[in-house]
Amino acid sequence: MQISRIASPLKLLTIALKVGRVTKKYPFGPPLLTESFRGAISIDPAKCWGCGACTLVCPPNALTMRLEGEKIVLEYFKGRCIFCGMCADTCPANAIIVTKEFELAATSVEDLKEDVIHKMSKCAICGKPFVATAEIRDVMKMQPITEEYANICPECRKKRAVKAFGMRFGAST
Amino acid sequence: MKLEERLRGVRRSPWVYHLNSGSCNACDIEILDALTPFFDAERFGVKLVASPRHADVVLFTGPVTREALPKVVKTLKAVPRPRIVVAIGSCAVGGGIWWNTYSTIGGFEKFQGVLKQQGVEIDKVVYVPGCPARPEAIIYGLLLALGYVKQKVSKVVKVVES
Ligand code: SF4
Ligand code: SF4
Ligand code: SF4
């Protein structure tokens, strides 16, 4: 009984000496980041089409899209992002990469926002802006067959198809 | 006295109070992680206290559920000035995955409107994103609140050339 009372702190000491120091020195040393850690995403403006696929899959709506006159603005709000990486999986242009950035603390919510501003293309028939210019550019690279339709908005395309269909059945205009 | 001068007094050994306003508990576990010997926030004198009346900094988690709202207001009222809040997790920053749920207020930013109505002033807020926020991110946010480190993020605007 007496011996074990003396021996138990010694045992603890030997374990502590064997394990050594475990405390991470962060922020004075490197952080403990594993291979599978996901941090904030980064959108490459050179690759992004402005298609909005990422805004549809984002679970907390951290990625949103809004129209500002003749511009499409893709907004990324880091404060609401849950770092799931679903947008990176979905993006058809591979414009999104998941970084390991985690030092995102900010004193204002505005500092956590990121805007990607796209120009819009105008419809060749009615002149209404309808899609991001980058999307037309890249879709045409992938599917040259769409060239004839690419500059026309969905409504005008519909009207044209109805007209062509009617003419086939003998309508005058 | 200016806020910076008052912060200097707090910097020596900030006592933190952990306030859960209806989070899923993952962020709370990460706060405990930050206080364990592994990450050891006590290197900076950070000590967890049991009463808001003893607190220098409030570690705030959760999107503020309606159920918790009156209690959270009361708790923050009990914190002595300067009131420093570190809002931890995407819930506390912007509502997180509960951003449009009927039963939550939607994060600390919207909650500040309620606090203003109740006459509770908050002197400094630091937002720490993450779901849950890493222990290092929590330590970084806490150090930013106390003025040890500089903020790294700022608003970014990227224009697509095409
Ligand atoms: S190209 Fe990718 S990043 Fe750009 S809007 Fe579409 S899905 Fe989002
Ligand atoms: S990582 Fe997840 S939460 Fe963050 S922007 Fe992408 S889809 Fe949204
Ligand atoms: S931010 Fe994520 S982990 Fe933290 S409380 Fe909210 S849902 Fe849970």
> What ipTM score was computed for the predicted complex, to two decimals?
0.88
- Interchain pair A40, B144: CB under 8 A: no
Given a cut of 70, is residue B9 above it in pLDDT? Answer: no
Given a cut of 70, is residue B10 above it in pLDDT? Answer: no
**Which residue out of B84, B108, B159, B160 would a mutagenesis test of the A interface target, given it has the greatest number of A Cβ atoms within 10 Å?**
B160
Contact yes or no for A113/A66 (Cβ under 8 A):
no
pLDDT at B89: 93
List of chain A residues with pLDDT < 50: none
pLDDT at A75: 95
Question: Which spans in chain A are helix H?
Answer: 2-19, 53-57, 86-90, 133-142, 147-150, 154-168
Q: Which domains does chain A have, with CATH numbers?
A: 36-168 (3.30.70.20)
**Highest mean pLDDT (candidates A87-91, B40-44, B104-108):** A87-91
B90: which 2 tokens? Answer: 């995407």
Q: Which domains does chain B have, with CATH numbers?
A: 3-146 (3.40.50.12280)
Contact yes or no for A54/A91 (Cβ under 8 A):
yes
**Cα R_g (chain A), whole angstroms:** 28
pLDDT per position as a tens digit, A35-63: 899 999 999 999 999 999 999 999 999 99
Q: What is the pLDDT averaged over residues B92-98?
A: 91
* Calpha distance B77→B79 (Å, rounded): 6
Q: Nearest-CA neighbor of A25 among B41, B32, B10, B147?
A: B41
Q: How far is CA A82 from CA A75, B6, B61, B132, in A?
A: 15, 34, 14, 8
* Calpha distance A172→B8 (Å, rounded): 85
Write out residues with Cβ below 6 Å of ligand 1. Answer: A 43, 48-54, 74, 91, 93, 95-96
The distance of B5 to chain A (nearest Cα, Å) reads 18
